[in-house]
Structure 1
Amino acid sequence: MENPKYVQIDPKQATAEKIEHILLPARHRDKIGLVHSALVAFNPYLGIVFANTKKKVDEIADGLIQKGLKVGRIHGDLSPRERKRVMKQIKDLEFQYLVATDLAARGIDIQGISHVINYELPTDLDFYIHRVGRTARAGFSGIALTVYEQSDEDALVRLEKMGITFKNIDLKKGEFTQIEERNRRQNRKKKETTGEAKAKSLVSKPKKVKPGYKKKMQYEMDKIKKRENRIQKRNK
Structure 2
Amino acid sequence: LDNPHFEAIPVSTVIADIIDNWLLATKSKDKNDVLLQVLTIGNPYLALVFANTKERAKEIASYLRGHGLKIAEIHGDIEPRERRRVMKAIQNLEYQYVVATDLAARGIDIEGVSHVINDDIPDELEFFVHRVGRTGRNGLPGLAITLYGPDEEDEVAELESLGIDFKAKQIKDNEIVDVKDRRARKQRVATTKKLDPTMVGMVKKKKKIVKPGYKRRIKNAIKRQDQMDRRIAQRQEMRATRKANKKRGETR
Task: State the TM-score bracket (shorter-chain normalisation).
Answer: 0.7 to 0.9
Distance 1:13 1:133 in 2: 11
Decide whether the 8 Å contact of 2:74 with 2:98 is kept in 1.
Answer: yes
- Cα shift at 1:180: 2.0
The reply to whether residue 60 of structure 1 matches residue 60 of structure 2 is yes
CA distance in 1, matches of 2:25, 2:229: 39
Q: Give the root-mean-square deviation of aligned CA atoms.
A: 2.4
Distance in 2 (CA, whole Å) between partners of 1:101 and 1:219 is 61
| Residues 12 and 163 in structure 2, CA contact (< 8 A), matched pair in contact too | no
The 1:82/1:217 distance shift into structure 2, 3 A limit, reads: farther
Give 1:26's aligned residue.
26
* TM-score in terms of structure 1 length: 0.76
Distance 1:184 1:112, change over 3 A: same
CA contact (8 A) 2:11 2:129 kept: no
- Where does 1:1-236 land on structure 2 (aligned, <5 Å)? 13-187=13-187, 189-190=188-189, 192-193=190-191, 215-216=225-226
SS of the aligned residue for 1:13 comes to helix
| Structure with the greater alpha carbon radius of gyration | 2
The CA deviation at 1:71 is 0.6
| Equivalenced residues, count | 193
Amino acid at match of 2:226: K
The list of structure 1 runs, each at least 4 consecutive aligned residues, that deviate by more than 2 angstroms after superposition, is 214-220
1:144 is paired with a residue whose SS is strand
TM-score normalised according to structure 2 size: 0.72
Given the superposition, is the C-alpha separation of residues 155 and 11 from structure 1 closer, same or farther in structure 2, using an over 3 Å criterion?
closer
Residues 147-182 of structure 1: per-residue CA shift (max 9 Å, x gap): 110111000000001111111111123211111221
**Identity rate, percent:** 46
- Name the CA distance, whole Å, in 1 between partners of 2:11 and 2:119: 30
Partner in structure 2 of residue 209 of structure 1: none
Give, in whole Å, the separation in 2 of the partners of 1:14 and 1:105: 14
Cα deviations by residue, 1:13-36 (Å, 9 ceiling, x for unpaired):
241111100011101111111111
